[in-house]
Amino acid sequence: MPQPGDLIWPEGVSLAPGRIVMGIGTAGPAGPLPRHEVRVRARLATWPRGDLLIEASPIPGLPAEGAAATFAYGSDHHGLIVRLDDGRIAVAVSDESPAWADPAFLQLIAVAAHEPEVTDAEFGVGLLGFGAIGAEHARAVLATPGLSLAGVCDPKPERIQAARTAAPGIHAHEDAVSMLDDPAVDIVIVSTPPDSHAHWAIEALSRGKHVIVEKPMALTTRECDAILATAADRGLLAAVYQNRRFDPDYRLIAACVRSGQIGEIFHAEAFVGGYGHPCNYWHSDADVSGGALFDWGSHVVDQVLDLFDGEVDYVTAVNHKRVWHDVTNADHARMTLHFDGGREATFIYSDLAAALKPRWYVLGTTGALTGDWRELSVVSRSTIGTLEEDVLAAADSPPVVRRHSAAGDVTTLSPRPQEPHPFHADLALRLRYGFAPRVRGEQSRRVVAMLEAAEESARLGGLQVKPA
């Protein structure tokens, strides 16, 4: 039976032994309820993750009034996490519940314990760039307790107006330096083209602002190192918006791998693409974007490095330029990470793929996982009443993930409910409580090292290149 001092807290989270009272309640002779999926409703002003779903045997009886978190039993609500008068935290969950190994649940307990000690002031976010991704950040910031939308800078007046509509009190700036100097801004989110990421990140850090950079962190490891060194020197946060780490298909695959459902993984393939002309924007300009692999590769390589343990011995890659000669990115690119022990992971990005490969193909020693693209469309009526169909690109919808057993059984996996804005919730908890976020700057620096090595390998005709 676990004791409070024996709990394995997630990195950056802790609570003094003796501060937690486990398995408390007044359920009477029936004891805890049978183990089931419990919806935990947090009642904390500084908790940004919303409700949690945990696997547990809850114990009814603690009062819901004044509780830090509650659960429902029948038509009544009961306290699940309650602050006691002596400063201890009572948790009405049986000792053997799997929830005691759930990082988010442990984090909620720690927030319940420490919230009376911290400031409830919000951290102001400044958006450097307000295109599609800037608007996505704005929605997330406005929905995340602990963060507020403080400033925006964009050269297009219509985007500034869109930001003002979303947050009427926002400070609008005509130039980037003005926003970086705005005292209301504590965190700068850099959503400029990749070749300028390092410049603006260092400018913001030098002014004492925390920094979130769009992927990739930069175009070279040298630039990444400069960003991280500047942040470390000033005691500030520098991280990258690796939002695909939280995609439902990837979360399913990662959960299966980490729970040993397919044994030890040794081979993975990932694919994104189709057949069509690349966009006529900076994404297709290799000098600005870093090349074809740097765009989607920043997402996929981050996922692969999160999935595989161990070191990458070397990288090989090939770029093809065969059809779309009016853009400078490769038309088709393939890179392979060669891990220690002979394990390997390959990513292909293609604008020449008339037939799609699966999004995921993962082999383990006792099974496999596949992620198959879905063919979806949006049907609507035109102004004259005829039906119009908008066929979505494959990458616009999450793939269907299936687990394949060694015996040939195939199981379609259902994704769990998603956190609404997991990256921004991590950001708020890191700034207020110091909890370690799931996406860290050094991880994104490693992603750039792999992409940089891949481009060098492709330049050398596919030779092995050790990442920096």
pLDDT in tens, 435-461: 999 999 999 999 999 999 999 999 999
User: Residue 84, exposed/middle/buried by CB under 10 A (0-12, 13-18, 19+)?
Assistant: exposed
**What pLDDT sits at residue 2?**
53
pLDDT at position 54 over 70: yes
How far the first Cα of the chain sits from its last, in Å, is 46
Measure the CA–CA gap between 250 and 359, rounded to whole angstroms: 10
Percent of the chain whose predicted confidence (pLDDT) is above 70: 97
Rounding to the nearest 10 degrees, give the CA dihedral for residues 198, 202, 203, 204: 110
Tell me which of 17-21, 55-59, 196-200, 293-297 is least confident.
Answer: 17-21
**What pLDDT sits at residue 384?**
83
Cα→Cα distances 153→56, 143, 181, 330, 461, Å: 46, 20, 12, 32, 42
Query: How far from chain centre, in Å, is Cα 438?
Result: 7
Measure the CA–CA gap between 74 and 112, rounded to whole angstroms: 25
pLDDT digits (tens, 9 = 90+) for 173-190: 989 999 999 999 999 999
pLDDT digits (tens, 9 = 90+) for 236-288: 999 999 999 999 999 999 999 999 999 999 999 999 999 999 988 899 999 99
| DSSP assignment letter at 436 | P
Q: In 10 A of CB 367, how many CB atoms?
A: 20
Measure the CA–CA gap between 145 and 425, rounded to whole angstroms: 8
Burial of 425-444, coded b for 16+ CB within 10 Å and e otherwise, reads bbbbbbbbbebebbbbbebb
pLDDT top residue among 21 and 399: 399
The angle subtended at Cα 46 by Cα 99 and Cα 178, nearest 5°, is 130
pLDDT digits (tens, 9 = 90+) for 94-128: 988 999 999 999 999 999 999 998 988 899 999 99
Q: What DSSP letter does each residue of 330-365 carry, written as one string?
A: -SEEEEEEEEGGG-EEEEEEESB-SSPPPSEEEEES
Measure the CA–CA gap between 188 and 192, rounded to whole angstroms: 12
| DSSP assignment letter at 300 | H
* Helix %, strand %, coil % of the chain (to 5): 35, 25, 40
pLDDT at position 28 over 70: no
* CATH class in words for 244-459: alpha beta
**What pLDDT sits at residue 1?**
43
Mean pLDDT for 39-44 is 97
**What pLDDT sits at residue 4?**
58
Q: What average pLDDT is seen over the chain?
A: 93
pLDDT digits (tens, 9 = 90+) for 314-371: 999 999 999 999 999 999 999 999 999 999 999 999 999 999 999 999 999 999 999 9
> Which three-class secondary structure state does DSSP give residue 222?
helix
Place of tokens 């009443």: 385
Place of tokens 């403080």: 150
Assign residue 75 a region (left: φ > 0; alpha: ψ between -120 and 50; beta: otherwise).
Answer: alpha
Tell me which of 20-34, 182-196, 209-223, 285-299 is least confident.
Answer: 20-34
Burial of 139-167, coded b for 16+ CB within 10 Å and e otherwise, reads ebbeebbbbbbbbbbbeeeebbebbeebb
pLDDT digits (tens, 9 = 90+) for 293-326: 999 999 999 999 999 999 999 999 999 999 999 9
**What pLDDT sits at residue 19?**
84
Establish whether the linkage from the previous residue to 216 is cis, with ω within 30° of 0: yes
Q: In 10 A of CB 381, how many CB atoms?
A: 9
Measure the CA–CA gap between 358 and 269, rounded to whole angstroms: 8
What is 123-241's CATH superfamily?
Answer: NAD(P)-binding Rossmann-like Domain (3.40.50.720)
Q: Which residues contact 464 (CB under 8 A, 6 or more apart)?
A: 314, 315, 316, 338, 457
Q: What DSSP letter does each residue of 4-72 carry, written as one string?
A: GGG--PPTT----TTSEEES----GGG-SPPPEEEEEEE--TT--S--EEEEE-B-TTS-STT-SEEEE
- CATH 3.30.360.10 domain range(s) in the chain: 244-459
- CATH 3.40.50.720 domain range(s) in the chain: 123-241
Measure the CA–CA gap between 70 and 87, rounded to whole angstroms: 18
**What pLDDT sits at residue 221?**
98
**What pLDDT sits at residue 6?**
66
Q: In this structure, are residues 411 and 402 in contact, taking their beta carbons and an 8 Å threshold?
A: yes
